[in-house]
Structure 1
Amino acid sequence: MSMYCLVWKYEVSSDQAKFEEEYGRSGSWFKFFEPCEDYLGHDLMKGGDGKTYILIDKWMSKADYQDFLDENKAAYDELNKKNSDLYDVEETVGEFELLQ
């Protein structure tokens, strides 16, 4: 079985520390997804320019991710709205399968 990964790109011009806190491994997004056994964690990376971030969410499968999203849509939307002021741009880079 391969791992399903979603890759996001963020541009953050103001409070990078707050963004890193919320989107890092102990932040609100991790806490939201973490109870799901099919969630395999995420990696947050900061670019050399100091304002570009890449976030990789890791799941057992695309179906597992979609099922979790479907079951928790209202809470997901609320958390997304709460954190939307922490970045200037959010872009979905793509969906990937990890090759083993």
Structure 2
Amino acid sequence: MTTPAEVLAAQRIYAPNLQANTSLSSTKFFAACFAGAAAGILGLANGAGFALFVAATALTAGVLHAVNCKGRPGKYFQGGVWELANPGQDNAFTFVLVWTLFYGIVHVYD
């Protein structure tokens, strides 16, 4: 059974904003994929690969902060800047998966 507060909170969700936030999270996902591919192709290992992931996450968060959120991420995300910069567990695992895939494909006979 839902309480009146839950119903009121559900009515505050605006569908176009929810769709825009979903596209921002997919942008972070693709950034993790491309960073993993770059780390694998470059042959980065251990800390250097994760440093590339951190740099790619920071760059993506900075671009999203400046372009999509217009400098006010609190308006678009409930967690504000932390929610925007948080890579998320799924993106970290995606990075590692793509990193090892491309590392194995490119550097198989090294």
Q: TM-score, normalised by structure 2?
A: 0.32
Structure number with greater Rg is: 2
Q: TM-score, normalised by structure 1?
A: 0.34
Between structures 1 and 2, the one with greater strand share: 1
Between structures 1 and 2, the one with greater helix share: 2
